[in-house]
Amino acid sequence: MGWFEGDNKSDPVKKLDPGLREFLEQETPDQYVPAPDLKQPAPTPSPAHSPKPQEADESSKPKVPAASLYQDGRYADLWKTYKPPSNVDSTPGVRGAERVIEQYKEHGNTVQRAAMENCALENEALAFCFQTGNWKKQIESRLTMCSAENATFSRCYQTQSKFLQALGYAAAFEYDAEREERIQMHADTLYHQMLDYEKKVAEAKAAGIEPPPLTSLFNPDKPPHIEGVAGTKVEIPGGEAVPAGFKPSKPLLKLTPHERELEIRTHNAQLEQQKMYVEEATPFIKSQADARTKRQEKAVSWFGETLGKWLS
């Protein structure tokens, strides 16, 4: 009998350090387990339930989430990929950094969908421009690409998106349908207040009279802030100063006073949102870094610095 015919039940790694043994067991690949036989008899179909006419009408309507202002099914195609933050898995493996990433990705899409809803009339006017009128009108529309309607819709969509961001739409981790709806309606109200003021200013200039006083859309009681830009003084409603690192979409001189205020508000809201995301993800990132450091220290004590750092 040779040495290999000894006791087969003895554990060859029982003399190893318990911590090293645990590490080796964790690093061992999982054993292959064959998939179970899924061939099962199909269940006997039960008699179909004939829905009532009212139930059939309700089921035929497209589903939209509570965040949409139009619960009759309009814009359902825009909302079909929407996932409220409250539906995101809250298990420890998903919370923290992964939750922040998911929320950040969904935030931009949600703001765009809400802006499209607020600009529904402008969008319909652009679509009708290509479809209505006699053949001469349709040819003219195609030659000009409905530039007037296109410009109106583009400005509405871009400005409404900024109003939504400045007001904190879909920025909170805890989803509140009523809060989001109020913000969406408030953004639409502020946008039309801005258009009404611009219309009054144009009418005053045409009549040769003084334009109405400039007031803030966000803080009507605060006086405007005067900012010097390229040797010229520009007014910014609401007492908002130009923050450090601020990069507007256009030079301040080419923006209307309310657009300047909105640009600054949107910039500040984005900074606050990024700060909130960092605070939410920091504990998770720190715990992952601490766990990796502990694994690295154990591996270095067992295998040496070079191999230990590579394994961990």
Rounded to an integer, what distance in angstroms lies between the CA atom of residue 124 and that of residue 149?
10
Higher pLDDT, 158 or 148: 158
Res 135: pLDDT: 64
Buried (b) or exposed (e) across 22-35, using 16+ Cβ within 10 A?
ebeeeeeeeeeeee
- pTM attached to this predicted model: 0.62
Domain boundaries, the chain: 60-208
pLDDT digits (tens, 9 = 90+) for 246-304: 999 899 999 999 999 999 999 999 999 888 877 776 766 667 666 777 777 777 777 66
Higher pLDDT, 119 or 228: 119
pLDDT digits (tens, 9 = 90+) for 197-222: 999 999 999 999 999 999 999 999 99
Cβ 241 vs Cβ 227: under 8 Å: yes
pLDDT at 91 over 50: no
Rounded to an integer, what distance in angstroms lies between the CA atom of residue 296 and that of residue 53?
66
Q: Write down the mean pLDDT value for the chain.
A: 77
Higher pLDDT, 63 or 225: 225
Q: Which helix (H) or strand (E) holds 191?
A: helix 177-207
